[in-house]
Structure 1
Amino acid sequence: MTHVNNFEYSRIAEIQSQIRHLTAEYHDLTKDRATRHRRPEFKMPAGACFDDRDRTEAVMAALDLELTGGRSVVEFERGLSEKIKMRSSIACNSGSSANLLAFATLCDPSLDNHIKKGAEVITSAVEFPTTVAPILQYGCVPVVVDVEPQIGNLNLDALEEAVSSRTQAIMSAHTLGSPFRADHVREFADLNNLWFIEDNCDSLGATVAERPAGSFGHLSTLSFYPAHHITSGEGGCVSAQSVQTATIVRSLRDWGRDCWCSPGEDNRCMSRFDWRLPGLPDGFDHKYVFTRVGFNLKMSDLQARVLMSQLQKVDTFTERRNRNWEILYSYLHDCRGVILFTNAEGTRPSWFGFTFMLTNHSKLSRRQLQIALEQSGIGSRVVFAGNITAQPMFRGRQMRIIGDLPVANRIARDALWVGVYPGLSEEDMHYMGCRIRSLITEGN
């Protein structure tokens, strides 16, 4: 029997080696073909960047039928926590779910000073909707402040005016890879006894005061959608500074159960059948005790295997993003028709896109420019939802707006961004810079 088992193990290892080799060869043969997230003749604003190792990890995970969350998810969570200098990370199925989990965690009654229904939460006027959505979903009131000119992030000078006796949290995102001074926001939050959720979905690899973006909030979030800095197709993560908040996030992610065993694991507490809880029979199986109204927002091991491979490339991806940004800057920094967005002092971006606002000197309106760019093979996007308070989702909603939001309104009307992601070559960037300048200054 031992001889047969040894033969089987040897044969399995041989097959795995062949599959790895063939997968790498397949990747080399197909890497340049068009996909939904890669159009070779079109300069997309964002997209996934996979190599043969990423593809091989996905294939091997599928071969092992690692289709739910398990060991690989745990390994990825540890690696990510180390990368962004947070105590714990809890992987989930999307960045939007990460924001929902983070906010829901701070509403948990087991926390001192938990966020209560009707509380105010300070946020920025220029956000992706799912940064703001959890505030509304949990019955709280967004307090919307304007953004900094030529940066597009939460205006820290407005925080003092925005805070009130009902304020319990600040929740805002680093815009398009350029982080705000999250260290200053955390100082303000601590002085005012507020929670701080740092939405880092667009800025993995960026730094603030030489610390990783995503390391300042009580909780921070990431997205692994194909447009983001690393990707598994879908996926997200909540990172926590304390054991208590990490425990709540994990419980809410996993149906709201009280048990902390990983999938496939039993009796980590060594007292699985010894619990006594009001209303339940003595010794009721602790794996089926639910203390929170939770969700099922888990990540699969297949996604985690790809992300562990992608995580090794964060620094390289950041260098390429910033190089591509610099090339576009060289073409447009002295162009009268645009105002370029830059980063706050004391920060190092990991640029998600190259953002600019058109001025009266531009030969084309933003709509005209976007159409002309598409016809030139260059993809572009507006900045998230523009002034988010103008979006239909806010109609009839209770909110408090600080001032008239002139910068957000200008961004909604005149701002645009184009890609700098690592899938774009230096040649692509030179073409884009030259073409954008020509359209703005000459109209053709």
Structure 2
Amino acid sequence: MADFIPVNEPLLDGNEKKYLNECIDTGWISSGGPFVKQFEAKFAETVRRKHAITVCNGSVALDAAVVALDIQAGDEVILPTFTIISCGAAIVRAGGIPVVVDCDPLTWNMDVSQIEAKITPKTKAIMVVHIYGLPVDMNPVLELADKYGLKIIEDAAEMHGQTYRDKPCGSFGGISTFSFYPNKHVTTGEGGIIVTDDDSLAEKCRSLRNLCFQPQRRFIHEELGWNLRFTNLQAAVGLAQLERLPEFVQRKRKMGAFYTELLAEVSQLELSLVKTDYAESIYWVYGMIIKDDVPFDAAEAMQRLREKKIGTRPFFWGMHEQPVFHKMGLLKDVSCPVAERLSRRGFYVPSGLALTEDQMKQVVIAVKEVFN
């Protein structure tokens, strides 16, 4: 009988063990080790940024980025409703007010045509979040930021190796963040990074990462920071992963094409968009939407697939429907019909880098059985 196929399994068969052994042999396992600087430099070079500041996960990368940009109480930040809670949480924790826009039904990214109508005198920034495989259409966003003097926070957590019009995701706006969770194209187990070209922003993020210690008087604090430090062990794994990023992107695109070809005949599904005029999907995950005339939703489909030993995950639940924000009096009476449909009828199937072709065939057979 076939084994259960998890929704993600990382691929760790490069230099990971070699570099980890080096950490152990030298005793450098903390945040002070040489792999941290190597990884930061290599990552900055990869996304064409001047500075890279590693942190312990992608969520706190957003927290630090928001604080570094001086988002304060009452400041409004426009973001997509269809994203992970970390994005809204970072704004709210800083005292800011999240203002959401609905998403494009084809790319699942924020609908950039809705942004300008949401801008008010209180708007301080636009948080761009690239979703699942395709980037946000950045040119209109950059034009709006320039027109209204707004800051851009680019959450590129899912976009390792992706480009927008041949420019790396993570290179747009004032500050960008990535995640290195195990399901990402580059993983360090847990981890994240902040990238920027701004010297003062980089210095601020490094300080926030390290409890705002002062160089001359370490234990006297002018500001409150966090301990967000990234270990040499994590950096060792990350460096080994980053060495293979082009290979990983190629592998993901091959997997996406495989799924798209074999699932195209399932008429009850809307599959991940392959490309736009500005990018080709890198399939961070392989998502699909159950069409409206199918008499069951994503939760039911996922349960049926689990019974067939196929792991799945639901799509994001919109920020405007999060109970925690409603309790705070935020995002009440907001309607985002596209995101609401995606949240209820969207899910993704196994698509980790370690997935084999035989496993993908098993996934396809199970999906066809559920819908046919």
Task: Give TM-score, length-normalised by structure 2.
Answer: 0.94
Match of 1:51 in 2: 13
* Cα displacement (A) at 1:368: 2.4
Matched, 1:197 2:153: yes
Matched, 1:102 2:102: no
Secondary structure of residue in 2 paired with 1:348: coil
1:68 and 1:406 map into 2 onto residues whose CA distance is 46
Contact 1:49 1:422 in 2 (8 A): yes
Contact 2:299 2:314 in 1 (8 A): no
1:219-368 alignment runs, 5 A limit = 219-259=175-215, 285-342=216-273, 343-362=275-294, 364-368=296-300
| Cα distance per residue 1:326-364 (max 9 Å; x no partner) | 111112234321112314430133211111111144364
**Aligned letter for 1:374?**
R
Q: Taking every aligned residue pair, what percent have the same amino acid on both sides?
A: 27
User: If you compute each CA radius of gyration, which structure gives the higher value, 1 or 2?
Assistant: 1
List alignment gaps of at least 5 residues for structure 2.
Answer: none
1:92-171 alignment runs, 5 A limit = 92-107=55-70, 115-171=71-127
C-alpha distance 184-258 of structure 1, shift in aligned 2 (>3 A):
farther
**Aligned letter for 2:303?**
I
C-alpha distance 419-179 of structure 1, shift in aligned 2 (>3 A):
farther
Match 1:371 to one of 269, 290, 303: 303
**Aligned letter for 1:74?**
K
2:192 and 2:9 map into 1 onto residues whose CA distance is 16
1:201 and 1:373 map into 2 onto residues whose CA distance is 27
Moved segments of 4+, more than 4 Å = 400-403
2:252 and 2:333 map into 1 onto residues whose CA distance is 34
Match of 1:281 in 2: none
Secondary structure of residue in 1 paired with 2:347: strand
Secondary structure of residue in 1 paired with 2:15: helix
* Cα displacement (A) at 1:226: 1.0
1:314 and 1:357 map into 2 onto residues whose CA distance is 28
1:296 and 1:365 map into 2 onto residues whose CA distance is 42
Matched, 1:423 2:354: yes
Secondary structure of residue in 2 paired with 1:246: helix
Contact 1:131 1:172 in 2 (8 A): no
C-alpha distance 402-325 of structure 1, shift in aligned 2 (>3 A):
farther
Task: Give TM-score, length-normalised by structure 1.
Answer: 0.79
Q: Number of residues paired by the alignment?
A: 369
1:27-46 alignment runs, 5 A limit = 41-46=3-8
1:81 and 1:402 map into 2 onto residues whose CA distance is 41
1:417 and 1:146 map into 2 onto residues whose CA distance is 20
1:241 and 1:183 map into 2 onto residues whose CA distance is 19
C-alpha distance 338-68 of structure 1, shift in aligned 2 (>3 A):
same
